[in-house]
A and B are shown apart, each in its own frame.
Chain A
């Protein structure tokens, strides 16, 4: 009984730390979805580039972790500019409304190939800047990195929300999300705001990558599953509900860790089963707006 309790306690902390990374990536889905109705299906590969580039900065070049974080965020953020130009802008007016799904997946496939060429196909250990010492919190052993992830990721999510609600630039972006034409008439450069949305979205993925790499591994194929699970988190909360998305990320992180305690075979599948059930009952997510078609 005691060991089960310890396991559950540990699952709680790991669940929150993995879940907060899902929430972080999913916040990126939110920012671009409200402005363009599209999102980057290759968000996971952007995360992977963030992790591997961070590895190069931190391990190969020996730069401080903080600088490595900055480097990853800036590089992956800039990749957002390219993504918007190459894979989003040209397809948004297409007849098939979900063309962006495939165009962003295509970019992610190319990134995977690039990562294999640059960093090789193997899993690489990313040493945690906080060391491998295990902290004792209550009965369980916790890596300091896990606590850092929770603080940094949730802090960033709140910061992004603060930016969107309070900062002038953020308000302009929110205005574009509400009504593109009205925003344009008010003198806001809509196109630039869309680029900004993709920069924010990508930067968040880059940050997620360098945060999570020390507790997983860094390698070319690390991104796909977190990317999709973060998508599930965003769908769970409703793509237009930032609070729902934060909750969704944490719920999904906790869910898979707790099921992992019961049976490791359940861990991978439970997220998807869960999201299928949610969507069968609530087609716009558990906390999403109900869509009413006006007749």
Chain B
């Protein structure tokens, strides 16, 4: 669930955060009961783990029912390093978090392609593996556990008091929240939401889906591991009873209770859920009724979570900052003029693609000259879409050669094709629905953004400047396609024809040498088609080569410099629009032969 209030603001609320931090820091001083301080410590480290899970659930849409396993990795690593190896807490704690990150990367591998219940199984299996390992391995001590885990020491060598330990955990939790805010409101959050919207579309603008999903898993796991580390050193004793399926369920419930995909949902959700056992401590016989009931009520009646539901209330509208106006950068298509030359932008020879026994493409040979609009037509089922899918790397050809600017590239993945300058739009629209129109285009710039994880983690000046500069470029592309006035709306709220235009703007952001438009006029009304054909010519004139697949003959004949015709997977004709219109084979393919017509 994506809430527009966070779309552009970022953490501008430093003042509010400082006040909250001060109040939290003062809590153990005001309520100095030792039990209360323990509860505060637990709330703080469980919050860190919950926040980590939300990065996965809320931003990538992946569910995890195995985070207790990652929490266990952190706890056992730090506990063993301090008790068995004599490491200092200050070394063992980051080691625990990092090792949890490594396990997160391992967990990501089977999670990448598995979806829905299969993904749930991956995480459940991981959680149970961790639980069983903790229970059965001699090193982890099973139910006897590890005892005498030392707390952290101050630089002078004195043990930290419980209040100081709470300050440490809460301070780290605050840092974790700030880092998460920085990442999620900037490029990283945008890219992750894009993956959730459409992995295929993300790939075609050059995003390496695999790498980004692993990244999300690793960040999430480091947070979970850190939570486990603090738990181990709070208790001084850990055993296998803690790291059970129920803990994973509780972490996930915290995320959903607070509101997944909101910045502060994990804080609210984890504090509320984890206070319940304390509040209902005297009713332990009915504890699970209450707990199960709360989960059920949350899931059924608060699908957006507490923070999510609050943010949806109309009251906030008047407080919501309007996104700052973005001045379009005039040189939107300047990069394209540098392209050109005489070599074909893309050339295929003897290209075939089989699906089982069906030959969708048969020995197609075709070259696209630079600087033209190359139309591709053919009856339904003639192999046009397969052709585009092969050219953009979504399908691997069965045989044949694909060359980009003279370099053979057969077998390249979609994100690699985008790097080589080939990108596309989709016949069935694939936008990133949870992102705004402007952000969709920003995702398109993926290959051209230089500031990566670290600059965004610390929200450096460089990262911010780059974002601002590219927002202006994105605005210019929106102006070019004619939807700049909708820039700050969610992409899923655009009208159909506008969504098609947005796909073109997003593809242009990848700065392709070759842009493939797959049925850009499907479902678009006649006025918009006029606009579309002008747009296509403008893009060509700016220096981008286009391949346009279309059924709309008027459009294709009006814009194409060259037209190729496919029928039953073979190229049956190629030439200027005039030649194609008079080609006997083409007429036969569309209308049937004269003999058949007479019989009919």
Q: Which residues of A contact B (CB under 8 A)?
A: 33, 37, 39, 86-87, 90-91, 94-99, 101-103, 105-110, 112-114, 116-117, 224, 228, 231-232, 235, 239, 265, 268-269, 271-273, 275-276, 279-280, 283-285, 291, 293-295
Q: Please report the C-alpha to C-alpha distance between residue A94 and residue B260 in the assembled complex, in whole angstroms.
A: 13
Q: Which residues of B contact A (CB under 8 A)?
A: 1, 57, 61, 63, 65, 109-110, 113-118, 120-122, 124-126, 128-129, 132-133, 135-137, 200, 245, 249, 252-253, 256, 260, 285-289, 291-293, 295-296, 299-300, 303, 385, 389, 394, 426-428
Q: Which residues of A contact B291 (CB under 8 A)?
A: 109
Q: Please report the C-alpha to C-alpha distance between residue A271 and residue B245 in the assembled complex, in whole angstroms.
A: 16
Closest CB of chain B to A265's CB: distance in Å?
A: 4
Most chain B beta-carbon contacts within 10 A, residue among A112, A265, A279? A279
* For the complex of A and B, 8 pairs with smallest distance between CB atoms: A109-B292, A113-B288, A106-B295, A283-B113, A110-B292, A280-B110, A106-B296, A272-B125
Q: Which residues of B contact A33 (CB under 8 A)?
A: 117
Closest CB of chain B to A234's CB: distance in Å?
A: 8
Q: Is A91 a contact of B121 with CB atoms below 8 Å?
A: no
Q: Please report the C-alpha to C-alpha distance between residue A201 and residue B115 in the assembled complex, in whole angstroms.
A: 22
Closest CB of chain A to B124's CB: distance in Å?
A: 6
Q: Is B121 a contact of A109 with CB atoms below 8 Å?
A: no
Q: Which residues of A contact B256 (CB under 8 A)?
A: 96, 99, 102
Given contacts A94-B303, A95-B303, A295-B385, contact A101 B65 (CB under 8 A): yes
Q: Is A275 a contact of B292 with CB atoms below 8 Å?
A: no
Q: Please report the C-alpha to C-alpha distance between residue A143 and residue B129 in the assembled complex, in whole angstroms.
A: 30
What are 7 sample pairs from A and B whose C-beta atoms fall under 8 A apart? A37-B116, A101-B120, A102-B253, A228-B128, A239-B118, A269-B133, A285-B118
Closest CB of chain A to B283's CB: distance in Å?
A: 11
Q: Is B299 a contact of A99 with CB atoms below 8 Å?
A: yes
Given contacts A276-B125, A295-B200, contact A99 B303 (CB under 8 A): yes
Q: Is A96 a contact of B110 with CB atoms below 8 Å?
A: no
Q: Is A109 a contact of B288 with CB atoms below 8 Å?
A: yes
Chain B's closest residue to A293 (CB) is B200
Q: Please report the C-alpha to C-alpha distance between residue A283 and residue B119 in the assembled complex, in whole angstroms.
A: 8
Given A37-B116, A101-B65, 6 more contacts at CB 8 Å?
A103-B299, A110-B292, A110-B296, A235-B121, A269-B132, A294-B428
Q: Please report the C-alpha to C-alpha distance between residue A239 and residue B116 in the assembled complex, in whole angstroms.
A: 11
Q: Which residues of A contact B252 (CB under 8 A)?
A: 102
Chain B's closest residue to A89 (CB) is B300
Chain B's closest residue to A288 (CB) is B118
Q: Is B63 a contact of A101 with CB atoms below 8 Å?
A: yes
Closest CB of chain A to B383's CB: distance in Å?
A: 14
Q: Is B303 a contact of A97 with CB atoms below 8 Å?
A: no
Q: Is B260 a contact of A96 with CB atoms below 8 Å?
A: yes
Cross-chain contact of A232 among B1, B121, B292, B296 (Cβ < 8 A): B121
Q: Which residues of A contact B63 (CB under 8 A)?
A: 96, 98, 101
Chain A's closest residue to B297 (CB) is A106
Q: Which residues of B contact A285 (CB under 8 A)?
A: 118
Main secondary structure of the interface of B (DSSP, over half): helix
Cross-chain contact of A228 among B124, B137, B249, B385 (Cβ < 8 A): B124
Q: Is B300 a contact of A107 with CB atoms below 8 Å?
A: no
Most chain A beta-carbon contacts within 10 A, residue among B61, B113, B129, B299? B299
Q: Which residues of B contact A105 (CB under 8 A)?
A: 249, 295
Cross-chain contact of A275 among B109, B125, B200 (Cβ < 8 A): B125
Q: Which residues of B contact A101 (CB under 8 A)?
A: 63, 65, 120
Q: Is A95 a contact of B120 with CB atoms below 8 Å?
A: no
Closest CB of chain B to A276's CB: distance in Å?
A: 5
Q: Is A265 a contact of B136 with CB atoms below 8 Å?
A: yes
Q: Which residues of B contact A99 (CB under 8 A)?
A: 256, 299, 303
Q: Which residues of A contact B287 (CB under 8 A)?
A: 113
Q: Is B300 a contact of A91 with CB atoms below 8 Å?
A: yes
Q: Please report the C-alpha to C-alpha distance between residue A272 and residue B69 in the assembled complex, in whole angstroms.
A: 13
Q: Which residues of A contact B253 (CB under 8 A)?
A: 102
Given contacts A33-B117, A235-B117, contact A102 B303 (CB under 8 A): no
Q: Which residues of B contact A39 (CB under 8 A)?
A: 117
Cross-chain contact of B245 among A37, A112, A224, A276 (Cβ < 8 A): A224
Closest CB of chain B to A8's CB: distance in Å?
A: 22
Q: Please report the C-alpha to C-alpha distance between residue A49 and residue B300 in the assembled complex, in whole angstroms.
A: 24
Given contacts A86-B296, A110-B289, A269-B133, contact A102 B249 (CB under 8 A): yes
Q: Please report the C-alpha to C-alpha distance between residue A199 and residue B517 in the assembled complex, in whole angstroms.
A: 49
Chain B's closest residue to A292 (CB) is B355
Q: Is B132 a contact of A272 with CB atoms below 8 Å?
A: yes
Q: Please report the C-alpha to C-alpha distance between residue A101 and residue B117 in the assembled complex, in whole angstroms.
A: 9
Q: Which residues of A contact B115 (CB under 8 A)?
A: 283, 291
Q: Please report the C-alpha to C-alpha distance between residue A37 and residue B117 in the assembled complex, in whole angstroms.
A: 9
Q: Which residues of A contact B285 (CB under 8 A)?
A: 117
Q: Is A103 a contact of B289 with CB atoms below 8 Å?
A: no
Q: Which residues of B contact A280 (CB under 8 A)?
A: 109-110
Q: Which residues of A contact B109 (CB under 8 A)?
A: 280
Q: Please report the C-alpha to C-alpha distance between residue A87 and residue B292 in the assembled complex, in whole angstroms.
A: 11
Q: Which residues of B contact A268 (CB under 8 A)?
A: 132, 135-136
Q: Is B303 a contact of A275 with CB atoms below 8 Å?
A: no
Q: Is A95 a contact of B1 with CB atoms below 8 Å?
A: yes
Chain B's closest residue to A231 (CB) is B121
Q: Which residues of B contact A275 (CB under 8 A)?
A: 121, 125
Q: Please report the C-alpha to C-alpha distance between residue A15 and residue B486 in the assembled complex, in whole angstroms.
A: 62
Given contacts A269-B136, A285-B118, contact A276 B126 (CB under 8 A): yes
Q: Please report the C-alpha to C-alpha distance between residue A87 and residue B427 in the assembled complex, in whole angstroms.
A: 37
Q: Is A107 a contact of B110 with CB atoms below 8 Å?
A: no
Most chain A beta-carbon contacts within 10 A, residue among B117, B132, B285? B117
Cross-chain contact of B286 among A94, A102, A113, A265 (Cβ < 8 A): A113
Q: Please report the C-alpha to C-alpha distance between residue A221 and residue B196 in the assembled complex, in whole angstroms.
A: 37
Closest CB of chain A to B522's CB: distance in Å?
A: 14
Q: Is A273 a contact of B129 with CB atoms below 8 Å?
A: yes
Chain B's closest residue to A33 (CB) is B117
Q: Is A276 a contact of B295 with CB atoms below 8 Å?
A: no
Q: Which residues of B contact A269 (CB under 8 A)?
A: 128-129, 132-133, 136
Q: Which residues of B contact A106 (CB under 8 A)?
A: 292-293, 295-296, 299
Q: Please report the C-alpha to C-alpha distance between residue A113 and residue B293 in the assembled complex, in whole angstroms.
A: 11
Most chain A beta-carbon contacts within 10 A, residue among B110, B132, B292, B385? B292
Q: Which residues of A contact B124 (CB under 8 A)?
A: 228, 231
Q: Which residues of A contact B300 (CB under 8 A)?
A: 86-87, 90-91, 103
Chain B's closest residue to A229 (CB) is B128
Q: Which residues of B contact A86 (CB under 8 A)?
A: 296, 300
Q: Is B114 a contact of A283 with CB atoms below 8 Å?
A: yes
Closest CB of chain A to B415's CB: distance in Å?
A: 15
Q: Is B118 a contact of A283 with CB atoms below 8 Å?
A: yes
Q: Is A279 a contact of B129 with CB atoms below 8 Å?
A: no
Closest CB of chain B to A33's CB: distance in Å?
A: 7
Q: Which residues of A contact B299 (CB under 8 A)?
A: 87, 91, 94, 99, 102-103, 106
Given contacts A103-B299, A235-B121, contact A279 B128 (CB under 8 A): no
Closest CB of chain A to B386's CB: distance in Å?
A: 9
Most chain A beta-carbon contacts within 10 A, residue among B120, B252, B288, B426? B288
Q: Please report the C-alpha to C-alpha distance between residue A6 and residue B128 in the assembled complex, in whole angstroms.
A: 30
Q: Please report the C-alpha to C-alpha distance between residue A285 and residue B337 in the assembled complex, in whole angstroms.
A: 50
Q: Which residues of B contact A114 (CB under 8 A)?
A: 289
Closest CB of chain B to A76's CB: distance in Å?
A: 18
Q: Which residues of A contact B293 (CB under 8 A)?
A: 106, 110
Q: Which residues of B contact A109 (CB under 8 A)?
A: 249, 288, 291-292, 295
Q: Please report the C-alpha to C-alpha distance between residue A5 and residue B427 in the assembled complex, in whole angstroms.
A: 62
Closest CB of chain A to B284's CB: distance in Å?
A: 10
Closest CB of chain B to A210's CB: distance in Å?
A: 24
Q: Which residues of B contact A113 (CB under 8 A)?
A: 286-289, 292
Q: Is B110 a contact of A276 with CB atoms below 8 Å?
A: yes
Closest CB of chain B to A22's CB: distance in Å?
A: 14
Chain B's closest residue to A108 (CB) is B292
Q: Which residues of A contact B296 (CB under 8 A)?
A: 86-87, 103, 106-107, 110
Q: Which residues of A contact B136 (CB under 8 A)?
A: 265, 268-269
Q: Please report the C-alpha to C-alpha distance between residue A285 and residue B114 in the assembled complex, in whole angstroms.
A: 9
Q: Which residues of A contact B286 (CB under 8 A)?
A: 113
